[in-house]
A and B are shown apart, each in its own frame.
Chain A
Amino acid sequence: MTATSENLSMVETPGVAWRKQIRFALIGALSSAFIALAGMPVGLDGRSIIQPVLSMGFLSLLWVPFVLATIAGSEVVLEGMTARTRDSKDLLAGGIVGLGSAGGLVLLMVLIQNFNLRDPLVNWSPQLLNLLSFNRSLAVGGLLWVLLGLILGVFGGAMHVLPKKLCSRIRTVVLSVFAVSVLETFLTDLLEGFRLEVLTDFVYYKRGGLEVGGALLVAALALLIPLLVGTRIRDVKKQVVDLPAEERKRVNLILLAVSAALLLVLPFFLGKIANELLANVGLFVLLALGLNVVVGLAGILDLGYVAFFAVGGYTTAVLTSPNSPGFSPELPWPIALIVVVVLTGIVGLFIGAPVIRMRGDYLAIVTLGFGEIIRLLFLSDWLSGWFGGAQGITNIPGVDVGIGTVKGTDPRSVFLLVLVFCAIAIYVSWRLENSRLGRAWMAIREDEDVAEAMGVNTTNTKLMAFVVGAVLASFSGAIFSAKVGSIFPTSFLMLVSIIILVVVIVGGMGNIAGVIVGALVLIGVLGGPKQPGLLQEFSQFKLLIYGALLVWMMLKRPEG
């Protein structure tokens, strides 16, 4: 421990906590080695961020020393204490963390060279070693890593030493370069819709990632735009807030209308890939909004939410497909949808009624059990006369809307359809949140006994949450089966429930806008259980990241 301040009247936080730094250095070493062994550097090497300088694979290792050094350097300043003035010792502390992380990698490299553990550990390969040592000898590679770790660690530590404004600028630049690079597929698609191929050709490398020039351009823009527009936006915002309530409402309405119109026009400028992606995101937005009603508003942890999605999808398939094995009325989709909604609502009641009185955690497990039972029933030979067992139901026709059919082969139409239903779902959940029922849900969530004492019929109210959630999921299921054109029990694993739960929790339970953003970011970038996201290379790691994200969110920001 270094000496504290000589001024005794003010308690200062003590100097750099060296022990903490060493602990973080060890954590860094372990996590770098884990990431390397998990195969991220090799698996993600194909995707470049800035061609040819930086690939996703290296980025997966490089963030460790920087972020850990930043976290290790942050200190809680309690009331009555003044924050310690930061000095060069903080840089040193960051350096230690960085060195630790690099040390983990170097140790791993030495181990890989001398032992062969490929048998249990699939990524224990010479390929990893080559990549880690930059295709040079072990000594050179090791030295480079130590240097890199040191530099990044010092940078991480420096985040506390440099003035705040500069730090936030740096952060914006780095993040926007990263974001523009990740959104490559989407932005190319969009810009090509506006016939701006010239720009994309300049900015992007052929196979994903930015050119160096493009990266510099983006960085410059990210630096300049806030400087030019920053104050103006603040002024406008202030004006709007100052307006009388009546007018503010009107401004909000206009903003809403403009963004809705933009969203409606957007699909026509997007290519196939982006539309497909957004359609998938939309399906998950629907599911997440439904689960948000159940978990976020009513506080019921439903782990078998996928059951309603499955029932919606299967009912649509049975009612519309000519190939449905048992009963095949071949109804048009909109009429089938009515049946689907009613039926799923009833299933919601049936699943909800027995579990509604259970303790919260028992309820979670039992709903999970129901979800699995429903999937097993769809899969079983017993009911294969109706649902086709493992073969599923194929040849589901699209949605006939007069001007054309909505089908999976035409993602633009699917996206528009999803958009319409998302709008309905958003409107419904927004109205419900402020209704008598919504307030009753929130009362139950906060304290069930008190809610009951205030005259809320808790049983019926909670059942209503189940039913509303089920209906929203059934929309998604109906669109899903029309989009994919065939339906199998493997689309309805428990995994789906968990991923929707992660989306809702990351977005913020009970927060409609948050949930939508959560779905956009998570499903759009990482991808759904089966659907690829923007980072297709991530597919083998996305579940790992979902798990880690869920734990991290619960520990650090349970409110989303």
Chain B
Amino acid sequence: MHLGGLRCNSTTVTLGTDVATTHDAKRISRVLWVDRFLTFIRLAFVVVIAVGLFAFIAQQIDPQNPLARWLNPDATGLTAPQFKGLLVTGLAQGAMYGLIALGYSMVYGVLGFINFAHGEVFMVGAMSGMITSNKLADAGLWEDAFLFCLAFVVITSILISTAVAVIMERIAYRPLRGAPRLIPLITSIGVSFFLQNVSVVLLGPGAKSYPSLPTWLSQKRSLLGFEIEGTKLVVLLTAAVSMAGLWFLVERTKTGKAMRAVAEDKEIAALMGIDVNRTIVTTFAVGGAMAGVAGILWGILFRSVIHTTGFLPGIKAFSAAVVGGIGNLGGAMAGGLSLGAAEATAPLVLLEPLGVDGVSQLRDAVAFAVLIFVLLVRPSGLFGERLSEDDRA
């Protein structure tokens, strides 16, 4: 029916009982009902976390402990290397989520909508990395000149995913500028669906693998008391370098200043002589480049890519952006790291002591639960949102 139909300006109420103060008693009781329920859910979350942690500590002290046996009769406890291993895995994946989250965060900061298709830009990066690295491996270069090849692969995949992001903005989002914010969201769902299936019809539906990495890279080495596989080290380092580059771009260059200005207020930025369209394209391009890097990191970590690769990391990265406070770039990275760590450790630390079977299957469910929990308890994220006035709504 109407375009405005999808507008949902719900006031973000954290513990808002003040809404009902001026109305009659009946109304107050009605509003309180949902609030009580929400408080109950929040409490339930906290209780589950507390009990899980408590049981975990109990089982760490002594697995034969009655407290540890209470919920999980065959509690064994984690050894320190196991825990560290989980943590490192989580952080490496978290760094990748953080890189993707930057794209969500920047676009949300500037345009105020969730670019659902950003996960697919990441997938495109991983796919193009797969193609180029396999071609290089066929030519026999991958093993011999690994670092050179890696640089080449990273650069091509950055170029391709940047191009995809920019084309996407031009075709699908620019005509919708100024529409109610759910309209571009629905469009981006369509774009995401389309890109996934483009990959299916062009490259075939099966999973494709990266060539195997040289052994000097994948072997474990110890660092600061942690046993880290070389690949995870590469992932963490690459993420740190990209983050530093992005920080420099946003905080220290003229382009970055323009981006911040457009995020603050588009009209005033335009009055100040900033080319808003170009800045928005730059935002998409930078987000796309970060997603391209993340795609290669995915390839290095998991060595396998399929058309649905972008979906879950995309959602998780969005969660990371929310956790860190949307629009806040440092927050996005921190959110990614904490989400990755939570998702890797929580099944074994929280759920296993609670007596849940097959916990590793619930990793993704944990990531979604983190998102829901953060939105319930602190919708503006751990490190605060940075949005313009009208996007805050």
Contact = CB atoms under 8 A, between A and B. Distances in A.
A445 B5 contact: yes
B200 A544 contact: yes
Interface stretch (B85-93, B157-165, B175-183, B271-279): B175-183
Given A37-B201, A548-B194, A550-B189, 8 more contacts: A357-B11, A359-B10, A446-B2, A446-B5, A458-B10, A540-B201, A544-B194, A555-B172
> Top 6 nearest A-B pairs by Cβ distance?
A360-B8, A550-B190, A381-B358, A547-B194, A547-B193, A369-B368
Interface string A334-356: 00000000000000000001101
**Which of under 10, 10 to 19, 20 to 34, or 35 or more describes the interface residues of B?**
35 or more
Contacts of A364: 114, 182, 185
Nearest to A549: B190
A331 interface: no
B329 to A, nearest CB: 19
B322 interface: yes
B204 A361 contact: no
Interface of A: 37-40, 119-123, 295-296, 299-301, 303, 353-354, 356-366, 368-370, 372-373, 376-377, 379-382, 384, 445-449, 457-460, 463, 494, 498, 501-502, 505, 508-511, 540-541, 543-544, 546-551, 553-555, 558-559
Nearest to A545: B197
A446 B376 CA distance: 25
28 contacts: A37-B201, A122-B204, A123-B202, A354-B372, A359-B12, A359-B393, A361-B185, A362-B322, A365-B319, A365-B371, A369-B315, A369-B319, A372-B315, A373-B368, A381-B361, A382-B362, A445-B5, A447-B9, A448-B10, A460-B30, A508-B1, A543-B193, A547-B191, A547-B194, A547-B197, A554-B183, A554-B187, A559-B3
A448 B38 contact: no
A510 B5 CA distance: 10
Given A120-B131, A356-B10, A547-B193, A366 B375 contact: yes
A301 B379 CA distance: 18
B37 A353 contact: yes
A22 to B, nearest CB: 18
A369 B366 CA distance: 10
A122 B202 contact: yes
Contacts of A501: 186, 189
Contacts of B362: 376, 380, 382
A377 B365 CA distance: 8
B364 interface: yes
A322 B362 CA distance: 28
A38 B201 contact: yes
B172 to A, nearest CB: 6
B13 interface: yes
A384 B359 CA distance: 13
A364 B4 CA distance: 17
Contacts of B200: 540, 543-544
B303 to A, nearest CB: 17
Contact of B6 (A359, A384, A445, A547): A445
A551 B120 CA distance: 15
Among A38, A358, A360, A447, the one with the most B-chain Cβ atoms within 10 Å of its Cβ is A360
B31 interface: yes
Contacts of A505: 186
Contacts of A376: 361-362, 364-365
A518 to B, nearest CB: 14
Nearest to B199: A544
Nearest to A39: B201
Contacts of B195: 547
Given A354-B372, A376-B362, A38 B202 contact: yes
Given A448-B8, A550-B189, A372 B357 contact: no
B41 interface: yes
Given A359-B12, A380-B361, A511 B27 contact: no
Given A379-B361, A544-B194, A547-B191, A369 B371 contact: yes
B367 to A, nearest CB: 8
Nearest to B208: A120
A509 B1 CA distance: 6
Contacts of B134: 119-120
B59 interface: no
Nearest to A37: B202
B317 to A, nearest CB: 11
Contacts, number: 225
Contacts of A362: 322, 375, 379
Contacts of B183: 554, 558
B34 interface: yes
Given A359-B393, A446-B2, A501-B186, A544 B197 contact: yes
B318 interface: yes
Contacts of B175: 555
B176 A555 contact: yes
Nearest to A356: B34
A361 B10 contact: no
Contact of B31 (A359, A372, A459, A508): A459
B114 A366 contact: no
Nearest to A349: B37
Which of A295, A300, A372: most chain B CB closer than 10 A?
A372
Contacts of A361: 113-114, 181-182, 185
Contacts of A368: 315
Nearest to A445: B5
Given A354-B372, A358-B12, A365 B1 contact: no
Centre residue among A358, A510, A511, A541 by max chain B CB count within 10 A? A358
Contact of B201 (A463, A541, A553): A541
Contact of A370 (B27, B182, B311, B368): B368
A203 B16 CA distance: 68
Given A354-B38, A380-B358, A360 B202 contact: no
A463 B30 CA distance: 12
B3 to A, nearest CB: 6
B221 interface: no
Interface string B336-369: 0000000000000000000011110110110011
Contact of A446 (B4, B198, B361): B4
B6 A457 contact: no
Contacts of B193: 498, 543, 546-547, 550
B1 A559 contact: yes
Contacts of A363: 8, 10
Given A547-B193, A547-B197, A360 B10 contact: yes
B31 to A, nearest CB: 6
A544 B201 contact: yes
B365 A360 contact: no
B105 interface: no
Contacts of A543: 193, 196-197, 200
Nearest to B194: A547
A449 B27 CA distance: 16
Contacts of B190: 502, 547-551, 553-554
A559 B6 CA distance: 11
B203 interface: yes
Contacts of A300: 8
Given A381-B357, A448-B10, A509-B5, A365 B201 contact: no
B392 to A, nearest CB: 9
B17 to A, nearest CB: 12
B181 A360 contact: yes
Nearest to A295: B6
